[in-house]
Amino acid sequence: MGRHLQSIAPHGGQLINRLASKAQVSEFLSKAEFLPRVQLSERALSDLELIAIGGFSPLTGFMSQADYESVVTDMRLQNGLPWSIPITLPVSEAIADQLNIDTLVRLDDPNGVFIGVLELSEKYAYDKLKEALHIYRTNEDRHPGVKVVYNQGNVYLAGDIWLLERRSHPQFPTYQIDPKESRALFLEKGWRTIVGFQTRNPIHRAHEYIQKCALEIVDGLFLHPLVGATKSDDVPADVRMRCYEIMLEHYYPLDRVTLAINPAAMRYAGPREAIFHALVRKNYGCTHFIVGRDHAGVGDYYGTYDAQYIFDEFTPSELGIAPMMFEHAFFCKRTKGMATTKTSPSLPEERIHLSGTKVREMLRRGECPPPEFSRPEVAAELAKIMHKMAIAESATEFQI
């Protein structure tokens, strides 16, 4: 290709690897029945895996009290490195009282399977209200992120972790591409600039529009839909992934796009989570990150572009990944295509906006979103699957 290729540095300068060696696994298994146990939630399991594979570099474990408090108040680790979301392991006071500092703790997945080890270095109480107000900008338990904080244990455990093995994803093993692999893949493809895209929703025309605008500027697009824990009314991950497969088959240049899963859980922390999502994609090897309308938002807790404004609180060099800001895209009746107020001369009544809530309601009734919102192949797939789910839910309610 005639040009020198080099990966972007991970956040903090080193891609973390906390996958236990064979010798460590053997040692941990020999002690398994004698170690105190903590059973992980779905979110904590996702966090454990992402720490281990380097997705949360430079973290090597669950946060100490000093790092936690610094992140909550200042959006930085204690050493000054930008970090906007606390990565913590909550337990009840009763469980915490049974654990001793400087000992190993067995970590089990939600099914009780031994999955990892925590080198317990600290346990500390924390202020739930303070965390809610700083991270989510609200103390209302209607907010799904705040609700999680209020319902979890009152003590955080801190310490380095080890993951016993990297298990294949039960739903999407072919799309499980860890940071070390994605970085190698981008080099193999000859991409110097890569833009990451985060979503928890099915792809629609506005997504496609901003992705392709970004793709005009960079070498490659890293589609990285989140498949960890989400709200109960969000569209299931398998449905969303199928929509991406359809889109890639019909509407994208395959040699310039990579689709992979992000195993993280959704926080719904709006602006703070936008920074977090960008740093995670930096660890996967992205040089740019798309930030659109109400990124990682929920309800009306955040302003339309708050997730873009928060990037002004950091210098480009300390983040190390460039945000690509996009306005709210819509279908313009006058120009017969996707646009934003930057590119369209249309009046408000000439613009077609569809909210995620309205689309979900249409899908549950078995109706196809209009072509102005979604490609027909995707709309048909969504309507078919979501209508089946709605029927199944109704049947279950009737039986109860």
Residue-level pLDDT at 380? 84
Angle at 245 between CA 242 and CA 249, to 5 degrees: 145
3-state helix vs strand vs coil in the chain, percent to 5: 40, 15, 45
Q: Give the span between the Cα atoms of 369 and 381, in whole angstroms.
A: 11
DSSP symbols for 288-320 = EEEE-TTTT--TTSS-TTHHHHGGGGS-HHHH-
CB 144 within 8 A of CB 231: yes
Amino acid at 269: A
- Helical pair 376-399 and 356-364, crossing angle rounded to 10 deg: 70
Q: Looking at 17, 192, 201, 364, which residue is catalytic?
A: 201
Ordered per-residue pLDDT tens for the chain, 400 residues: 445 667 899 999 999 999 999 999 999 999 999 999 999 999 999 999 999 999 999 999 999 999 999 999 999 999 999 999 999 999 999 999 999 999 999 999 999 999 999 999 999 999 999 999 999 999 999 999 999 999 999 999 999 999 999 999 999 999 999 999 999 999 999 999 999 999 887 888 889 999 999 999 999 999 999 998 777 777 788 888 998 999 999 999 999 999 999 999 999 999 999 999 999 999 999 999 999 888 999 989 999 999 999 999 999 999 999 999 999 899 999 999 999 999 999 999 999 987 666 777 777 777 788 888 888 888 888 877 776 666 555 544 434 3
Whole-model pTM over 0.75 = yes
CB 101 within 8 A of CB 121: yes
Query: Could you state, in order of their start, the residue ranges of all structural domains in the chain?
Result: 22-163, 173-399
37 is catalytic: no
Q: Give the span between the Cα atoms of 318 and 170, in whole angstroms.
A: 36
Residue-level pLDDT at 4? 60
Q: Give the span between the Cα atoms of 385 and 391, in whole angstroms.
A: 10
Helix (H) or strand (E) holding 4: none
Q: Give the span between the Cα atoms of 170 and 19, in whole angstroms.
A: 19
Spell out the CATH class of 22-163: alpha beta
Q: Give the span between the Cα atoms of 56 and 50, in whole angstroms.
A: 6
Q: Give the span between the Cα atoms of 91 and 263, in whole angstroms.
A: 22
Residue-level pLDDT at 387? 66
200 is catalytic: yes
Strands (E), the chain: 37-39, 61-62, 89-91, 103-108, 114-125, 155-163, 194-197, 220-223, 257-259, 288-291, 322-325, 330-332, 337-339, 351-352
Residue-level pLDDT at 364? 73
Residue-level pLDDT at 1? 41
> Residue 334 phi/psi, 5° resolution?
-75, -45
Amino acid at 386: M
CB 32 within 8 A of CB 106: yes
Q: Give the span between the Cα atoms of 236 and 144, in whole angstroms.
A: 17
What are 77-90's pLDDT values in tens digits? 999 999 999 999 99
Closest CA to 241 of 231, 263, 226: 226
Spell out the CATH class of 173-399: alpha beta
Q: Looking at 43, 200, 267, 281, which residue is catalytic?
A: 200
390 by Cβ neighbours in 10 Å (0-12 / 13-18 / 19+) ranks as middle
Residue-level pLDDT at 137? 97
Residue-level pLDDT at 319? 97
Amino acid at 67: D
359 by Cβ neighbours in 10 Å (0-12 / 13-18 / 19+) ranks as buried
111 by Cβ neighbours in 10 Å (0-12 / 13-18 / 19+) ranks as exposed
Residue-level pLDDT at 359? 72
Conformational region of residue 112, where left means phi above 0, alpha means psi within -120 to 50, and beta covers everything else = left
